[in-house]
Amino acid sequence: MDRNNAVEFAKNHINLKNKVNVIPNLIWIESKPIDLGRFWFFNYEYKLLNEDMNLAIGGAPGFTICKNSEAINDISWQEYHELSMNN
């Protein structure tokens, strides 16, 4: 899977995430891909529609897309730390 394919997969993933979003005044936005060899990594990023809001949310820091299988997986904070340490 090349970068352009990964970006398209990520866009579809983010669009689906927005369709099922239950957090008012928040939309998930695209982030830049990071090439991790066998995977593409994308940070979860969001935009507040009401900039006067102060919102802190938890959850997965991002997701990977496997270059071979095209599987999309949320990663845990521990996995995120491990990826950061190895790249």
Range of the domain at 18: 3-86
Confidence label for 87 from pLDDT (cuts 50, 70 and 90): low
Number of domains in the chain: 1
Q: Which residues pair with 39 in a beta bridge?
A: 66
pLDDT for the residue 31: 95
The predicted model scores a pTM of 0.86
pLDDT tens-digit readout, 2-58 = 999 999 999 999 999 999 988 888 899 999 999 999 999 999 999 888 877 777 777
State the SS3 of 23-73. Answer: CCCEEEECCCCEECCCEEEEECEEEECCCCCCCCCCCCCEEEEECCCCCEE
